[in-house]
Amino acid sequence: MALDCRIPRVARRHWLSGATALIALGSVLGADVPDPLLAATRALVSGSPQSAAETLIPVVEADPENADAHRLLGVALSLLGRRSGALEALAAAARLQAANPANHLALAQALAQFGENRRAQESFRAALDLDGRLGPAHEGLALSLALDGSLTEAILHFGKALEHSQDAPAKARLHFFRGKARQQFDRIALAAEDFKLATELQPDHGPAYLEWGRILAEDPDGTSAGPVLEKAAELLPESAEAQFAHGQQLLRHDNPEAAARVLRQATSLNPGDRAAQYALGRALRASGQADEARRVLGGIAASGSDRALEEARINEAGQLNNQGLQAETDGNFELALQRYEAAAAIAPDEVGFHRNAALALCRLNRWVEAKARLREVLRKAPGDPDATKALYIALDHAPD
Q: pLDDT by residue (tens digit) across 184-200?
A: 877 889 999 999 999 99
Task: Supply the pLDDT for residue 290.
Answer: 85
pLDDT of 303 > 60? The answer is no
Tell me if 117 sits within 8 A of 147, measured CB to CB.
yes
Task: Supply the pLDDT for residue 316.
Answer: 75
pLDDT of 214 > 70? The answer is yes
169 contacts: CB under 8 Å, gap ≥ 6: 201, 202
Could you tell me the pTM of the whole model?
0.71
pLDDT of 20 > 70? The answer is no
Average model confidence (pLDDT) across the chain: 85
Give the 3-state secondary structure of residue 270: coil
Q: How many CA atoms lie within 13 A of 307 on its CB side?
A: 1
- What's the CA gap between 144 and 375, in Å, rounded? 56
The domains of the chain, with CATH numbers, are 1-164 (1.25.40.10), 239-304 (1.25.40.10), 321-397 (1.25.40.10)
pLDDT of 21 > 60? The answer is no
| 1 band by pLDDT with thresholds 50, 70 and 90 | very low
- What's the CA gap between 265 and 259, in Å, rounded? 10
Summarize pLDDT for 336-367 with one digit per residue, the tens. 888 888 888 777 778 888 889 989 888 898 98
Task: Supply the pLDDT for residue 295.
Answer: 84
Give the 3-state secondary structure of residue 365: coil
Task: Supply the pLDDT for residue 71.
Answer: 95
Pairs from 29-32 (Cβ < 8 Å, separation ≥ 24): 29/100, 29/101, 29/102, 31/67, 31/68, 31/100, 31/102, 32/68
- What's the CA gap between 108 and 91, in Å, rounded? 10
pLDDT of 284 > 70? The answer is yes
Q: Which amino acid is at 22?
A: L
Give the 3-state secondary structure of residue 304: coil
204 contacts: CB under 8 Å, gap ≥ 6: 235
What DSSP designation does 272 have? T
In a 10 Å sphere around its CB, with 0-12 CB exposed, 13-18 middle and 19+ buried, how is residue 270 labelled?
middle
Instruction: Please compute the mean of the pLDDT values over residues 115-138 and round it to a whole number.
Output: 95
- What's the CA gap between 246 and 255, in Å, rounded? 11
Q: Which amino acid is at 100?
A: N
Give the CA dihedral 102, 170, 194, 232, nearest 10 degrees: -140
Instruction: Please compute the mean of the pLDDT values over residues 129-143 and round it to a whole number.
Output: 95
Tell me if 7 sits within 8 A of 184, measured CB to CB.
yes
Cβ neighbours, 10 Å, residue 77: 25
Tell me if 124 sits within 8 A of 145, measured CB to CB.
no
pLDDT of 2 > 80? The answer is no
- Most confident range (mean pLDDT) of 236-245, 292-301, 382-391 is 236-245
179 or 3, which is more confident: 179
In a 10 Å sphere around its CB, with 0-12 CB exposed, 13-18 middle and 19+ buried, how is residue 31 labelled?
middle
Instruction: Please compute the mean of the pLDDT values over residues 165-182 and round it to a whole number.
Output: 94
| 100 band by pLDDT with thresholds 50, 70 and 90 | very high
| 25 band by pLDDT with thresholds 50, 70 and 90 | very low
Among residues 323, 329, 389, 316, which one has the least CA distance to residue 358?
389
Task: Supply the pLDDT for residue 18.
Answer: 45
- What's the CA gap between 56 and 61, in Å, rounded? 9
Q: In this predicted structure, which of 28-37, 170-179, 202-211, 249-258 has the lowest mean pLDDT?
A: 28-37
pLDDT of 7 > 70? The answer is no
Could you give the percent of the chain with pLDDT greater than 70? 87
Among residues 218, 129, 133, 142, which one has the least CA distance to residue 175?
142
Task: Supply the pLDDT for residue 10.
Answer: 44
- What's the CA gap between 320 and 357, in Å, rounded? 12
pLDDT of 77 > 80? The answer is yes
| 14 band by pLDDT with thresholds 50, 70 and 90 | very low
pLDDT of 118 > 60? The answer is yes
Task: Supply the pLDDT for residue 238.
Answer: 96
- What's the CA gap between 35 and 73, in Å, rounded? 15
- What's the CA gap between 374 and 394, in Å, rounded? 9
